[in-house]
Chain A
Amino acid sequence: MTLDVIVEILATVGMVFLLLILGLIFMGIARKVSARIHRRIGPPLYQPILDVIKLWSKIDPSSHGLTFDLGPLIALGGAITAALLLPIMGLKLLSFSGDFIVLMYLMELPALGIMLGAAASGNPFSAVGVYRGLILFTGAQLPYALAVMAVAAEYKTLSLTEIVALQQGSILNWGLFRNPFAALVIAIIGLALLDVQPFDIPSAPAEISMGPMVEYGGKHLALMLTAHGLEFVVFATMYSIVFLGGVGDPISFIVKTVFVALLAIFIMNVYPRWRIEQAFSYLWKYPAALALLGLVKAVMLGGAM
C-alpha cells in the first residue's frame, strides 16, 4: 500500500463523484439543447441535480417490498462499477481487472436491476414496460455483438487500455475512421441502450405512464435518475475510448463525451417513437447488416498494425 496506490484510490473516489455529477449535467444538457431546438429557453444546466435533490427529500416514499428497494440500488451499484472499469484521464485503477466484454456485461446490470424492481412493483404498466424493455434490449444485442466483434477483429485485443494505445498517432488512427460501420452501428445501438427516441418504447411516457418507473418516486427515483445519467456518461466515455481516440486528459474527455451526447440529443429530438415490433425488426435488419459489413471489413482488410 504505497503512497501512489492511496493517491490513486482517492482520485478514483473523486472521479466517481465527478462522474455522478457529470451524468446529471449531461441530462441537463439534453433538456437545454432540446429546449433550444424547440425555440424555448429551457431549464438551467444543473436542473437534474435539483430534481434529484427534490426527489431524495420526499418525506415518506412508498415501497412495495425488498426487491422493489433493491432495484435502484443494483442499478446505481452496477453503473458505478462499470464506470470504474474505464481508463479515464489517466486513472487506471480497475481498468486492468476487466476487459471490453466484462464492461459490456456490467453495462447491462443497471437495466437488469430496474427490470427486477419494476417487476416487483406489481403494476401492470410496469410489467408491460418490463417485457418491452427486455425485448428491445434483446433486439439491440445482435448488431451490438457484431459491431463489438468488428472492433475486436480490428484491434486484435479486448483490453481497453490497449485499444486506446493503438489509436494514438494521428487522427486517422481513430476507430471512427478505421471502421466507420462499427462506429455508426454502436451509435445507433447506444440510442436503444439508453432509452432514447426513437427507441424509448420501454418508458413510453404517454402510453404506459413511464413504464417500469411508474411506481417509483422519492429516493428510489433519485437513485435511478443518477444511475441513468451515469449510464449516459459511461456509454459516451466507452464510445470515445473505442472510436474517438481515448480520453486521456480532461479537455478531450469533456469535448468527446459532449460530442457523443449531442449526437444522441439531436437524433432524439427529430424522431418519434417506434413500436416494439418495428424497433426489433429494424434493429435485426439494417444495423445488423451494417455491422456485418464492418466485421467483413475488419477481417478482410486487415486489422491492427
Chain B
Amino acid sequence: MGFQVLETSKLLNYARARSLWIVTFCTGCGGVELPPTATARFDFERFGIISTPSIRQADLLLITGYVTPKTLKRIIIVYEMMRNPKYIIAHGSCPVNAGIYWDSYNTVKKLDLYIPVDVWIAGCMPRPEAILRALVKLMKMVKEGKALGWKRYLENFEFYRKKQDRLFGKDWRKREIEKLRFYIHD
C-alpha cells in the first residue's frame, strides 16, 4: 500500500491513537510519576496504552526528566531504532528548559533542536492528572493526523544531524563504540 494511505487513513489513525505503546525507558527522576499513572488509581491502560520493553514494538517515547548529553546519545539511538510513526512527549519542566537545573553546565536546555517533540508537559513533577491530559491531547492529535514529529525528523534529517554533531562532536557514534572496547575480551 502506498505511503499516503498508511499515513492518512482514518481507521489507521484511530487505531494508532487508541493503542499507544510506551517504551519503558525512564530517563530521569520524572519517571517516578509513571507507575501511579499506570496502576489502579489513574490507569492509563483504559486508553489502550501499555508499556513495552522492546523499542521495535513501541511508538511513544517519554522523555521524563533532565537530559544530559550522555542520556541524549542513548535517546537518539533509541529514537532512531523505533519504527515510524512515532511520537515523543517531553514530560516535566526539565526537557522544556532544563527546569531546576537551568544553570548547569551539563544539561540540555533546548531539546527541540535534537529530536522532535509533539507534546510538552510542564511541572516538576507533573501529577498523573497532567500526564493523562497530555496523553489525551496526543491521542487527539494522532487521530486527526497532526502528530507529525516523526515526519519532521525524516524531512529535516540533515538539520537534526548537524545539531547533534555540534553538541557531541563529529563521529560520536564511533567514539561511543570505542568506549566499549574495554569490555571486549577477544
Instruction: Classify A-B as touching or not with yes or no (CB < 8 A).
Output: yes
A residues at B contact (CB < 8 Å): 31, 35, 38-44, 47, 50-51, 53-55, 57-62, 205-206, 209-210, 213-218, 221
Given A31-B45, A206-B24, 17 extra CB contacts under 8 A: A35-B43, A51-B19, A51-B21, A53-B11, A53-B19, A54-B15, A54-B19, A54-B59, A55-B57, A57-B12, A58-B85, A59-B6, A59-B84, A60-B84, A206-B53, A209-B54, A218-B83
Q: Is B40 an interface residue (CB 8 A)?
A: yes
Whether A50 contacts B48 in the complex (CB less than 8 A), given A60-B84, A210-B54, A218-B83, comes out as: yes
User: Which residue in chain B gives the minimum CB-CB distance to A38?
Assistant: B40
**Whole-angstrom CA separation of A207 from B97 in the bound complex:** 34
Q: Is B7 an interface residue (CB 8 A)?
A: yes
Residue numbers in A under 8 Å from B16 (CB-CB): 54, 57
List 8 A–B pairs whose Cβ atoms lie within 8 Å, in order of A's numbering: A42-B45, A42-B46, A50-B48, A51-B15, A53-B19, A55-B57, A60-B83, A217-B54
Q: B48, B54, B56, B57: which contacts A43 (Cβ < 8 A)?
A: B48
**Whole-angstrom CA separation of A213 from B57 in the bound complex:** 9
User: Which residue in chain B gives the minimum CB-CB distance to A41?
Assistant: B46
Q: A40, A41, A53: which contacts B15 (Cβ < 8 A)?
A: A53
User: Which residue in chain A gives the minimum CB-CB distance to B82?
Assistant: A217
**Whole-angstrom CA separation of A215 from B39 in the bound complex:** 27
User: Which residue in chain A gives the minimum CB-CB distance to B13?
Assistant: A57
Which size class do B's interface residues fall under? 20 to 34
**Whole-angstrom CA separation of A138 from B57 in the bound complex:** 28
Contact A57 B6, beta carbon cutoff 8 Å: yes
Contact B19 A50, beta carbon cutoff 8 Å: yes
Q: Please report whether the interface of chain B is mostly helix, strand, loop or mixed according to DSSP.
A: loop
Cβ of A1 to closest chain B Cβ, rounded Å: 35
Q: A35, A54, A205: which contacts B53 (Cβ < 8 A)?
A: A205
**Whole-angstrom CA separation of A9 from B130 in the bound complex:** 54
**Whole-angstrom CA separation of A125 from B72 in the bound complex:** 24
Contact A59 B45, beta carbon cutoff 8 Å: no
Residue numbers in B under 8 Å from A47 (CB-CB): 18-19, 48
Contact B84 A58, beta carbon cutoff 8 Å: yes
User: Which residue in chain B gives the minimum CB-CB distance to A53?
Assistant: B15
Q: Is B182 an interface residue (CB 8 A)?
A: no
Residue numbers in A under 8 Å from B9 (CB-CB): 57
Residue numbers in A under 8 Å from B85 (CB-CB): 58-59
**Whole-angstrom CA separation of A217 from B83 in the bound complex:** 8
**Whole-angstrom CA separation of A50 from B6 in the bound complex:** 15
Contact A40 B53, beta carbon cutoff 8 Å: no
Residue numbers in B under 8 Å from A43 (CB-CB): 45-48
Q: Is B71 an interface residue (CB 8 A)?
A: no
Q: A59, A210, A214: which contacts B83 (Cβ < 8 A)?
A: A59
Contact B56 A216, beta carbon cutoff 8 Å: yes
**Whole-angstrom CA separation of A54 from B9 in the bound complex:** 12
Contact B56 A62, beta carbon cutoff 8 Å: yes
**Whole-angstrom CA separation of A213 from B21 in the bound complex:** 15
Residue numbers in B under 8 Å from A61 (CB-CB): 83
**Whole-angstrom CA separation of A58 from B6 in the bound complex:** 8
Q: A35, A40, A42, A221: which contacts B57 (Cβ < 8 A)?
A: A221
In residues 107-123 of chain B, which contact A (Cβ within 8 Å)?
none
Q: B14, B43, B57: which contacts A216 (Cβ < 8 A)?
A: B57
Residue numbers in B under 8 Å from A40 (CB-CB): 39-40, 43, 45-46
User: Which residue in chain A gives the minimum CB-CB distance to B3?
Assistant: A59
Residue numbers in B under 8 Å from A60 (CB-CB): 83-84
**Whole-angstrom CA separation of A54 from B139 in the bound complex:** 13
| 10 tightest Cβ-Cβ pairs between the two chains A and B | A217-B56, A209-B53, A53-B15, A57-B12, A40-B43, A210-B54, A54-B19, A59-B84, A50-B19, A41-B46
- Of B39, B56, B59, the most chain A CB neighbours within 10 A belong to B56
**Whole-angstrom CA separation of A47 from B53 in the bound complex:** 19
